[in-house]
């Protein structure tokens, strides 16, 4: 998990404050986002610089899920990672101290295809450095999925015909 409640990042002189998030995870939250399978109930979390962040992670599914942050200082967090893993039905809690930089950290579940199918969020420290890609409800996909144009496609010849007719009438008037 790499929990850390007392060792300060080098750029912090003290813990500036505490924030706590109760994050729920599971397939049930994916219904809000068509085309996803698993997700969290919160996708963009904000924490002040140098704050102690506590995450209560409630897994509502019957399979494993993770709430994993990447990009933290490696001298405090092996692999640059703080991570909570909860078996199906479990609630697991953990805390860590964030550095002072304005930074948007990736939060995800690293089981295969969980992030790709919606289990992705961001932790914005000191306001963050912009939104990450593909965060459900927050940002778009870099490679958006392709869907059929649907009924509109059948109307394209009609639209073209009308456009041509209109153009020819205009040309005649002139």
* Contacting residues toward other proteins, per CB under 8 A: 26-28, 34-38, 61-65, 68, 70, 79-81, 83, 85, 87-88, 110-117, 133-134, 141-147
Question: What is the DSSP secondary structure assignment for residue 130, as one 8-state letter?
Answer: S
| Nearest alpha carbon to residue 53 among 91, 4, 102 | 4
Residues 126/115, Cβ–Cβ less than 8 Å: no
Please report how close the Cβ of residue 83 comes to other proteins at its closest, in angstroms: 7
**Shortest spacing between CB 128 and other proteins, in angstroms:** 18
Of 2, 7, 172, 3, residue with least CA distance to 99: 7
Closer to other proteins by Cβ: residue 19 or 33: 33
Cβ 154 to other proteins shortest distance, Å: 19
CB of 90 vs other proteins, minimal distance in Å: 11
- Please say which residue, 16 or 70, places its beta carbon nearer to other proteins: 70
- Residue 78, Cβ density class (10 Å: 0-12 exposed, 13-18 middle, ≥19 buried): exposed
């Amino acid at each position: 998990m790499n929990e850390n409640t007392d060792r300060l990042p080098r750029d912090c002189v003290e813990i500036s404050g505490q924030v706590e998030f109760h994050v729920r995870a599971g397939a049930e939250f994916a219904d809000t986002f068509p085309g996803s399978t698993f997700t969290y109930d919160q996708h963009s979390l904000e924490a002040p610089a140098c704050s102690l962040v506590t995450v209560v992670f409630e897994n509502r599914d019957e399979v494993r899920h993770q709430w994993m942050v990447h990009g933290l200082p490696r001298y405090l967090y092996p692999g640059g990672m703080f991570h909570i893993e909860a078996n199906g039905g479990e609630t697991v809690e953990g805390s860590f101290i964030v550095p002072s930089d304005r930074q948007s950290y990736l939060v995800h579940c690293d089981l295969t295809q969980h992030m790709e199918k919606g289990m992705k969020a961001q932790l914005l420290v000191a306001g963050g450095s912009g939104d990450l890609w593909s965060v459900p409800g927050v940002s778009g996909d870099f490679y958006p999925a392709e869907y059929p144009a649907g009924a509109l496609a059948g109307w394209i010849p009609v639209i073209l015909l009308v456009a041509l007719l209109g153009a020819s009438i205009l040309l005649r008037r002139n």
